[in-house]
Amino acid sequence: MHNVLNICTMLDHSDYPLTKREAEILSLVVAGNTSQQIANLLAISIHTVSNHRKIILIKTRCSNITELMSWAVKNGLIH
């Protein structure tokens, strides 16, 4: 959960285009959670998680999760 707070805090104080919920989902993806696990943790539909993941990819101009992880490292969101 520490990573979740760090990423959300960093995104709140930057020019990144993600909403708080998108940042939260990104941090859970980075932590290795599946969409189903994220849905369970956040008490939302897996379809909602999938939609957020698609929007995150669009906003970050990444074509897949591997590229998104690189983007997150490059932008200092994960180490």
**pLDDT for residue 3 is more than 60:** no
Write down the domain spans for the chain: 2-74
Tally the residues of the chain. 79
Q: pLDDT tens-digit profile of 4-16?
A: 445 555 554 455 6
Residue labelled with tokens 């969101």: 77
Q: pLDDT tens-digit profile of 39-63?
A: 999 999 999 999 999 999 999 999 9
Supply the pLDDT for residue 38: 98
Q: What is the DSSP secondary-structure string of 33-69?
A: --HHHHHHHHT--HHHHHHHHHHHHHHHT-SSHHHHH
CATH of domain 2-74: 1.10.10.10
Instruction: Give dist(CA 57, CA 38) in Å, integer.
Output: 17
**pLDDT for residue 76 is more than 90:** no
Reported for 17-21, long-range contacts at CB under 8 A and 24+ positions apart, including other chains, are 17/59, 17/60, 18/56, 18/59, 18/60, 21/52
